[in-house]
């Protein structure tokens, strides 16, 4: 029903972006979910505490330089175009996968293996930075509500599908002896195919229209000289004068922090519990997390379906209250004599109700001026995720050492409070937009 109402070029663009996101996140998450196996190959063997720190470092390496990637791809996306960005990022992912597929292990070349794999993970983090945000902004700019919400939400659905497929391949590697290098060769190949396929995309009409208006404004003012023309544009043209509201930018950033915490807790922290407390092997942990990932896919799929029928911000609020009630009991539950099955249920609830931006992303993007949209969206996303992953991965280790499982509250409670304040801000903006006069509402959607 959604696709039947789209024009041919819209259907083609949505399809290419969704498939490309699937392939990109398969490549990105392949190492994340195989870390319990691959960290032993590329990093030196140590005691359990040091191993936890190394695992945290390997995990953070993917996200730590994302803010720089956000500035780079944000500039490209806002000045050259959205299409160029998604092509470059897919190609970067292919190159990093090729390198890891052929990289010698720590036993063969020593610490160089650890440094090279870390650099590859950084490249993948930079690549994914422009990928998902770029795809979501692209679809936001070529569609309108209410159809816009589920179509944009399909991007995280396909990214979650890529993660599930990565876990399935990781499970095959650990349970059947399937060569893990072949998985990375596969990832590199499909990333190359995705890069070529995306050359068929057209630039978004909203971005092209703004570029045309800017060019026309410069031409109309050029009779006063180029310098005076630029000064005149900056002082009179709303495209240059409009700024991003600081409270909106901060709210957008803090709302992106919680998902990083839930992701780390579910897939990394709980994996350490499965390994150290229950003695599960790497293969068993990967298989366990594969089933958990299906609940992550179910989470975004349900949100995508509901977004066509109800306000996306109401969906976020429901998920917030559902998970917040559980957070208060997490330390108590983990301190009890639970089984791997009990832990699985806890992981499934966290990953299903974990609050993030899906399916309300278009509401956030539409409150950022178009010529600043890509840069601000990617940069706030990168800063939020980098800070969250760095602080979470190391603080979970030290906070739980000091306060047992109650140390989890040190991170979980503050980020929940920040999230609800950010959500309240966007609810206010959405309410104002719905009650504005048509001209103001239209301006907010296109500015």
pLDDT at 32 over 80: no
Mean local confidence (pLDDT), 252-267: 91
Per this entry, what is the length of the chain? 447
Nearest-angstrom CA–CA distance, 347 and 415:
18
Give the DSSP per-residue string, 283-329.
HHHHHHHHHHHHHHHHHHHHHHHHTTTS-HHHHHHHHHHHHHHHHTT
Token digits of residue 299 = 């989470």
| Stretch (H or E) spanning 387 | helix 370-403
Nearest-angstrom CA–CA distance, 167 and 173:
10
SS3 category, 233: helix
Q: Which pLDDT band holds residue 435 (cuts at 50, 70, 90)?
A: low
In our burial notation (b when 16+ CB lie closer than 10 A, e otherwise), range 225-251 reads eeeebeebbeeeeebbeeebeeebbeb
Give the DSSP per-residue string, 347-386.
HHHHHHH---STT-HHHHHTTS-HHHHHHHHHHHHHHHHH
Least confident of 88-92, 224-228, 371-375, 388-392: 224-228
Q: According to the model, what pLDDT value does residue 447 have?
A: 35
Nearest-angstrom CA–CA distance, 42 and 121:
12
Q: According to the model, what pLDDT value does residue 394 have?
A: 75
- Percent of all residues in the chain with a pLDDT value above 90, rounded to a whole number: 27
Most trustworthy range by pLDDT among 176-190, 218-232, 267-281, 380-394: 267-281
Q: Which pLDDT band holds residue 151 (cuts at 50, 70, 90)?
A: very high
Q: According to the model, what pLDDT value does residue 442 have?
A: 40
- Which residue's structure tokens are 């399935």? 168
Q: Which pLDDT band holds residue 223 (cuts at 50, 70, 90)?
A: low
- 336-394 pLDDT tens trace: 888 999 999 999 999 999 999 999 999 999 888 887 888 888 888 888 887 887 788 77
Give the DSSP per-residue string, 408-441.
GHHHHHHHHHHHHHHHHHHHHHHHHHHHS-HHHH
Mean local confidence (pLDDT), 178-185: 80
In our burial notation (b when 16+ CB lie closer than 10 A, e otherwise), range 192-208 reads bebbebbeebebbebbe
Q: Which pLDDT band holds residue 156 (cuts at 50, 70, 90)?
A: very high
CA proximity to 85, closest of 129, 33, 25? 129
Nearest-angstrom CA–CA distance, 385 and 300:
19
pTM over 0.95: no
Q: According to the model, what pLDDT value does residue 14 have?
A: 84
- 267-299 pLDDT tens trace: 888 988 998 899 998 788 888 988 999 999 999
CA proximity to 132, closest of 17, 255, 261? 17
Domains of the chain: 3-446 (1.20.1250.20)
- Percent of all residues in the chain with a pLDDT value above 70, rounded to a whole number: 82
């Amino acid at each position: 029903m959604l696709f039947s109402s789209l024009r041919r070029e819209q259907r083609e663009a949505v399809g290419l972006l969704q498939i490309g996101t699937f392939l990109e996140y398969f490549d990105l998450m392949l190492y994340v979910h195989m870390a319990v196996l691959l960290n032993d190959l590329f990093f030196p063997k140590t005691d359990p505490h040091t191993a936890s720190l190394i695992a945290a470092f390997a995990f953070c390496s993917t996200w730590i330089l994302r803010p720089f990637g956000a500035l780079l791809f944000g500039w490209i996306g806002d000045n050259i175009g959205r299409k160029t960005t998604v092509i470059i990022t897919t190609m970067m992912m292919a190159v990093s996968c090729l390198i890891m597929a052929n990289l010698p292990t720590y036993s063969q070349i020593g610490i160089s293996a650890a440094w090279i794999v870390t650099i590859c993970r950084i490249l993948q983090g930079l690549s994914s930075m422009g990928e998902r945000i770029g795809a979501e902004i692209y679809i936001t700019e070529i569609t309108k509500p209410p159809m816009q919400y589920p179509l944009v939400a399909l991007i995280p659905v396909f990214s979650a599908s890529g993660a599930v497929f990565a876990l399935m391949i990781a499970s095959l590697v650990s349970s059947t002896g399937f060569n893990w290098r072949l998985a990375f060769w596969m990832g590199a190949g499909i990333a190359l195919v995705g890069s070529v396929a995306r050359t068929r995309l057209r630039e978004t009409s909203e971005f092209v229209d703004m570029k045309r208006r800017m060019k026309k404004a410069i031409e109309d003012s050029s009779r006063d000289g180029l310098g005076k023309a630029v000064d005149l544009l900056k002082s009179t043209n709303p495209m240059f004068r409009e700024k991003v509201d600081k409270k909106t930018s901060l709210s957008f950033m803090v709302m992106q922090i919680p998902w990083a915490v839930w992701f780390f807790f579910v897939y990394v922290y709980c994996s350490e519990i499965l390994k150290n407390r229950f003695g599960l092997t790497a293969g068993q942990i990967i298989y366990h997390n594969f089933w958990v990932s299906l609940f992550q896919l179910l989470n975004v799929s349900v949100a995508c379906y509901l977004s066509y029928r109800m306000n996306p911000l109401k969906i976020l609020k429901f998920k917030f209250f559902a998970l917040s009630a559980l957070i208060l009991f997490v330390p108590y539950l983990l301190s009890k004599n639970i089984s791997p099955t009990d832990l699985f249920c806890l992981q499934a609830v966290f990953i299903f109700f974990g609050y993030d931006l899906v399916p309300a992303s278009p509401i956030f993007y539409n409150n950022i001026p178009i010529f600043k949209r890509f840069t601000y969206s990617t940069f706030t996303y990168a800063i939020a995720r980098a800070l969250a992953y760095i602080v979470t991965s190391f603080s979970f280790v030290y906070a739980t050492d000091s306060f047992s499982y109650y140390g989890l509250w040190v991170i979980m409670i503050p980020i929940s409070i920040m999230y609800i304040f950010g959500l309240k801000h966007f609810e206010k903006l959405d309410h104002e937009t719905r009650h504005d006069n048509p001209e103001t509402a239209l301006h907010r959607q296109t500015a």
